[in-house]
Chains A and B, each alone.
Chain A
Amino acid sequence: GNSVTQMEGPVTLSEEAFLTINCTYTATGYPSLFWYVQYPGEGLQLLLKATKADDKGSNKGFEATYRKETTSFHLEKGSVQVSDSAVYFCALSLVGNEKLTFGTGTRLTIIP
């Protein structure tokens, strides 16, 4: 079956630190990959996506590269801000099956 494994949280960093949140996947076929962000008390928002191998998704200073050889889609940001504090979810979908498979989420807290 399909699955997404995310880095265990919570993750606490100082402002301006480098961020990596690991995400690996198992899928039958060629998935599209997503990162969603959830701010406190809100729904999930799409942060970035990649639809094929070697694609790089980017948004708001965050980046993730679709690595087929390592089945990974790690989220990175060069310099985090307090406003980046949120829960981050990695997810995949397969063409023809729109049901997303989510990871368990990683809570990120940035300290000033």
Chain B
Amino acid sequence: DGGITQSPKYLFRKEGQNVTLSCEQNLNHDAMYWYRQDPGQGLRLIYYSQIVNDFQKGDIAEGYSVSREKKESFPLTVTSAQKNPTAFYLCASSPYVSQDGYTFGSGTRLTVV
């Protein structure tokens, strides 16, 4: 079955360390997205990519970085510059031209200890 896989489901990081969250999709989707969700809050867009080797900042890109070397993969690095990284991170993908919306992964919960 096609889908989008995020790993790990839970991640603990010490302050001052960078950490990379994985997102892989086998849906042949062109576009991929990273969102952050804080408890009781909505979704905030961090970065998105519509084609390989290209990506754009979303609303809260500071302290994060991404790469898009392969169509299937869109890893997110949470750097030590991110002041408050503890959150639930969601990855999503969509076809470039579609009225079907997004397919979401199951999320990664990052906790800074």
Interface, chain A (partner B; CB < 8 A): 32, 34, 36, 41-46, 49, 51, 89, 91, 93, 95-96, 98-100, 102-105, 107
Interface size on B, residues (CB 8 A): 27
Assess whether A98 is in contact with B97, with CB atoms less than 8 Å apart: yes
Assess whether B43 is in contact with A98, with CB atoms less than 8 Å apart: no
| B34 CB, min distance to chain A CBs, angstroms | 12
CB-CB under 8 A from B6, the residues of chain A are: 43
21 pairs, CB–CB < 8 Å, chain A vs chain B = A32-B101, A36-B104, A41-B107, A42-B107, A43-B90, A43-B105, A43-B106, A44-B90, A44-B92, A44-B102, A46-B100, A46-B102, A46-B103, A93-B101, A95-B99, A98-B50, A100-B94, A102-B42, A102-B43, A104-B42, A107-B40
CA distance A17 to B40 in the complex (A): 24
CB-CB under 8 A from B100, the residues of chain A are: 46, 49
Using known A-B contacts A98-B95, A102-B43, A103-B42, determine if residue A49 contacts B48 with beta carbons closer than 8 Å. no
Asked whether any CB of chain A lies closer than 8 Å to the CB of B98, the reply is yes
Q: Please pick, from A32, A44, A45, A102, the residue contacting B99 in the complex, using a CB distance under 8 A.
A: A32
